A and B are shown apart, each in its own frame.
Chain A
Amino acid sequence: MSQTVLTGLEGRVQKSSPIRALGVGRFTLLLVLLAIIVVTAIGNPRFLSANNLFNILFQVSTLGIVAAGQTVLLVAGGLDLSVGAALSVAGLSTALTVVGTGSTLLGVLAGLAAGTAIGTLNGALVATNRATPFIVTLGTMTFLQGMAIVMCNGSPVNGVDTLFDIFSTGSAFGVPFPIYALLAAVATIYLVLRFTMLGRYAFAIGGNEEAARLSGIPVRRVKIGLYALSGLMVGVAGVILTGILDSGLPSMGNGYELRAIAAVVIGGTPLVGGRGTVIGTLGGVLLLGLVSNSMNLLGVGANYQSAVLGLIITAAVLLQKKR
């Protein structure tokens, strides 16, 4: 059953599906999240315990911080495939500095600096060569994966007890610190995109880079700034994950790049840029965390979990397209 609707200034005739008519597309993610929550809560009442809900937020905290940074890049029509490898390098920089100097503060600064420097380098490579971000960051990803192994000779770096106490077992008012960090990262990116020139320029570049350039926007500098900001987020996630895992690992960032991009896209930011919200990204991150948590609580067999996760992600993205 479909109805005919006039849309837009062009008065183009479109077929509206029942899904569109119900306005489902606009609230797809919220509906999917609610459906998972209801089904899981019925299947296992422990799902709604405060402990479990904090666990979910704790588990997605580092992915959420990386995805928040990735959001500004996708809004501007960019992309960074190296965030996972950069997270490993930032985490190892933190761990090696803490072990080498005995100073946790220096370790934290080293991790943040490493993430920001890698982001800035990626931005410079993308902006100054007008190269495809996909290819440039694929190259830096491979380089950084190798660097991570070289930095620690392929072995875990232990001895970050203070960071472990803060980020793995530490909390304030019963809320683990990584959750505060996630909320701070999302708030930061929200404010940048909504209230700063950098954010407005990001939307303009993502919408039409050439038009942005002709209208006087310093595209190169803006791109470098956006990649640096994303890199800083990666550095934050690297420091936190080092604390959570009580060690720096050369593989600690494996798979983050695709999950971060998936979360951003599920959250409604298109790969071509021009629009998007970090709140949507947070929803995407929560979806990924919820599905995994839900399947384990409902006792879905290990053999089926990847297939179910893939189906839910695909369904969420396809429903988003109905907007």
Chain B
Amino acid sequence: MKKSTMALAAVALGALIAPTFAQAAEKTIAFMRGGPDPYYQYGMNAAQAAADKLGVKLVTYTANNDPTQELANVQDAITKGVDGILIYAVSLSSEKAAIAQAQRAGVPIFFQYGYDPSLLKNAAGFMEINLFKFGEPVGEALGKQVPDGEVAIVTGKLGRGDAEAFANSFKDGLKAVGSKASVVAEVAADWDRQKALDATAQILTAHPDVKAIYAANDDMAVGVSIAIDRAGKTGKILLGACNGAPYGIDLIKQGKMTITNSNPPSIASVQSLQLLLAVIDKKIEPGQFYAAPTQLITSANMDTAIPWDAKPDQVAAWLAQPLPQPSPGPTN
């Protein structure tokens, strides 16, 4: 074996065993991300800050959007001897297997998103927004300003249900306020900023009279906004989105976006961690659904938006609040 190869192997081995020398804490919780999406990252950062304050050790895993890897992560965490698992599941299909693994080992598992009523009784709990209603207030807000004419939708990756729900609920919102605006284009941009930019350029070519565009998340809204800029239509086309991400709020501050419905991962992950710990300590019943915090953000309240990148004092303030109360799960 070459020296360079041996050195590389030594570095890799060192990276692998270094974490085992970390000090053990009172409780160990596994935090599992579905993939590299910033949403998960912000949630993980807030959960880490909360864990530090609570004296809990947080070990983090990522599945890279691979259900097989996710199951391997669950098994590894159980082998490691964690007290509980807090997870953003990759897909509904992988949840059942994850629950089965955790149940066999007697480890509570709490899900952020991926709510399935049939799995609720076997989980420590679920926290999620109501996907079937989430785009509605954005549709209402844009519908009031566009009583007729053309609107377009740039939605996420199809096939998982969430992108479809975000788009349909936006249309419900338009109808709810009596807008006669017609949806002339509905393009899937896979939650991707560049694809949203390209899709919007094409929408504006095919439908130059579009009055408003709805992007199913703020990341895509940035791409939509750039396309609107490039077409020289800034200020002439309304833009609404979902998520309340820092870059979405920046668009509102710049006057390029009207509204975003925020579902901050920071406070949701802090509350989910608290709920999981309460289940472990037998302070609350497992198997319950909790509505994730949401907030409509416009230019009127953008300065008081719940931050995604929460500072430690903000996390401490959330920890001081009473635990969220369970509610009925959302239905389509």
- On A, residues with C-beta under 8 Å from B are 44, 46-47, 49, 51-52, 55, 58-59, 145, 148-149, 153-156, 158, 168-169, 241, 244-247, 249-252, 254, 292-293, 296-297, 299, 301-303, 305
Contact = CB atoms under 8 A, between A and B. Distances in A.
A296 B203 contact: yes
Contact of B197 (A145, A148, A244): A244
Contacts of A156: 38, 219, 247
A52 B205 contact: yes
A165 to B, nearest CB: 11
Interface stretch (B82-90, B118-126, B139-147, B183-191): B183-191
Interface of B: 36-38, 40-42, 45, 64, 155, 158, 185-188, 192-194, 197-199, 201-203, 205-206, 208, 219, 222-223, 226, 229-230, 246-247, 250, 309
Nearest to B247: A156
Contacts of B42: 154-155
Contact of B194 (A52, A149, A245): A245
Contact of B205 (A46, A241, A250, A254): A46
A154 B41 contact: yes
A252 B197 CA distance: 13
A249 B187 contact: no
B176 to A, nearest CB: 23
Given A154-B38, A244-B194, A299 B206 contact: yes
Main secondary structure of the interface of B (DSSP, over half): helix
Contacts of B38: 154-156, 250
Given A153-B41, A155-B42, 5 more contacts: A145-B36, A154-B38, A155-B246, A249-B193, A292-B198
A44 B206 contact: yes
A59 B193 contact: no
A292 B155 CA distance: 16
A296 B185 contact: yes
Contacts of B199: 296
Nearest to B229: A169
Nearest to A156: B247
B243 to A, nearest CB: 13
Contacts of A250: 36, 38
A155 B309 contact: yes
Contacts of A302: 155, 158, 186-188
Contacts of A154: 36-38, 40-42
Nearest to A251: B36
A198 to B, nearest CB: 26
A247 B222 contact: yes
5 contacts: A155-B41, A156-B247, A244-B226, A292-B198, A296-B203
